[in-house]
């Protein structure tokens, strides 16, 4: 097994390599003056099972190109199998045509990764499950829910819990975590007026006097989840916690979360936010053990789905 890390989230790559007790492959990734990416793999890759760890968060386009070039370098180095490990899959929100003559960019990115030479994709909490079908190669889509459940049980002592889906699309995710916690389910009915803008219309379910746990896969500008917390408090919720897999945290999102009525905001390190979240109510939990175990199982041809049973 060989682990190759891109530059997008090096701390996560190092955690994964430490868990697997193997060193990251010696590589040299640099950019020319016009921002072209150049990659050198300084170890023999012939016949190896290679895992390329590279998320595609900001700057998304640069990181996608780095991933593609790295896969191409490994293919030309005669690697036996190449697995693209994407802690965060960018462009996942563009999974369908929402207006006439608009692209399905998630499908385009899937094609690029496949044609670059990847044999498999390992990712975490895709924004839409159907994106797995955009690839013509095997896709293992992991879930952060076991990590969240463990953290909730350890840190939130209230027995009167209710899991909240911030929109209809998040019901399945919130229900799955609620089932493990023996908690009820509530849904935020919202209307989206434009990209990054939403308005809470109603709260479906009784939240009065309860500890609410908002479960979401992604937070970008932070407006939706902060508005949801306001609506829950207005409906009589005792306190509000938020658990989010991918913390994009664009623009003034951190400031919004700090000023919101959310008591604690838990995110994973699928996107490197260490500098942004220092001395804030945003706390980070690591997905390195989950990704490392999945990588180990893939390399040994074992079941990945058993991680969630």
Distance of alpha carbon 223 from alpha carbon 227, whole angstroms: 6
Across the range 157-161, mean pLDDT stands at 88
For residue 214, which of 196, 229, 197, 234 has the smallest C-alpha distance?
Answer: 229
Read off the pLDDT of residues 96-134 as tens digits, 9 standing for 90 and up: 998 899 999 999 999 999 999 999 999 999 998 899 999
Q: Is the pLDDT of residue 196 over 60?
A: no
Query: pTM of the predicted model, to two decimals?
Result: 0.92
**Angle, in degrees to the nearest 10, between helices 171-181 and 145-155:** 50
**pLDDT score of 193:** 62
Same fold for the pair 2-142+289-308 and 145-286: yes
When pLDDT is cut at 50, 70 and 90, the band that residue 286 belongs to is very high
**Mean per-residue pLDDT over the chain, rounded:** 93
Tokens at residue 254, please? 């951190």
Across the range 220-239, mean pLDDT stands at 92
Q: Is the pLDDT of residue 156 over 70?
A: yes
Read off the pLDDT of residues 18-57 as tens digits, 9 standing for 90 and up: 999 999 999 999 999 999 999 999 999 999 999 999 999 9
Q: Which residues are catalytic?
A: 190
Third-level CATH fold of 145-286: Rossmann fold (3.40.50)
When pLDDT is cut at 50, 70 and 90, the band that residue 198 belongs to is low
Domain ranges of the chain: 2-142+289-308, 145-286
* 23, 5 Cβ separation under 8 angstroms: no
Tokens at residue 17, please? 């390599």
CATH of domain 2-142+289-308: 3.40.50.2020
Q: Is the pLDDT of residue 58 over 60?
A: yes
Q: Is the pLDDT of residue 194 over 70?
A: no
Tokens at residue 291, please? 């990704």
3-class SS of residue 291: helix
When pLDDT is cut at 50, 70 and 90, the band that residue 192 belongs to is low
What is the per-residue DSSP string for 11-46?
HHHHHHHHHTT-PBP-EEEEE-TT--EEEEE-S--T
């Amino acid at each position: 097994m060989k682990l190759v890390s891109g530059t997008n989230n090096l701390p996560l790559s190092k955690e994964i390599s430490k868990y697997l007790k193997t060193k990251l492959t010696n590589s040299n990734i640099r950019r020319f003056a016009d921002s072209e990416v150049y990659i050198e793999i300084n170890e023999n890759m012939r016949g190896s099972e290679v895992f390329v760890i590279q998320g595609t968060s900001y700057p998304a386009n640069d990181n996608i190109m780095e991933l593609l070039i790295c896969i191409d370098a490994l293919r030309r180095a005669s690697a036996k199998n190449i697995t693209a490990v994407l802690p965060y899959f960018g462009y996942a929100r563009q999974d369908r045509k929402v207006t006439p003559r608009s692209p399905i960019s998630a499908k385009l990115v899937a094609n690029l990764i496949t044609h670059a030479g990847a044999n498999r994709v390992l990712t975490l909490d895709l924004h839409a499950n159907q994106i797995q079908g955009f690839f013509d190669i095997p896709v293992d889509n992991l879930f952060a829910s076991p990590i969240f459940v463990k953290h909730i049980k350890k840190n939130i002592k209230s027995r009167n819990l209710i899991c909240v889906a911030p929109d209809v699309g998040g019901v399945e995710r919130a229900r799955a975590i609620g089932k493990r916690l023996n908690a009820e389910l509530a849904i935020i009915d919202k209307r989206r007026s434009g990209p990054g803008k939403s308005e809470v219309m109603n709260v479906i379910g009784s939240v009065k006097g309860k500890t609410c746990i908002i479960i979401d896969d992604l937070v970008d500008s932070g407006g939706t989840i902060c508005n949801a917390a306001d609506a829950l408090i207005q409906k009589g919720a005792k306190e509000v916690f938020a658990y989010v897999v991918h913390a994009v945290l664009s623009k003034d999102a951190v400031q919004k979360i700090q000023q919101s009525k959310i008591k604690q905001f838990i995110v994973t390190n699928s996107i490197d936010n260490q500098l942004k979240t220092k001395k804030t109510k945003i706390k980070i939990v690591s997905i390195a053990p989950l990704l490392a175990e999945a990588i180990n199982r893939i390399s040994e041809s074992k079941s990945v789905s058993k991680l969630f049973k």
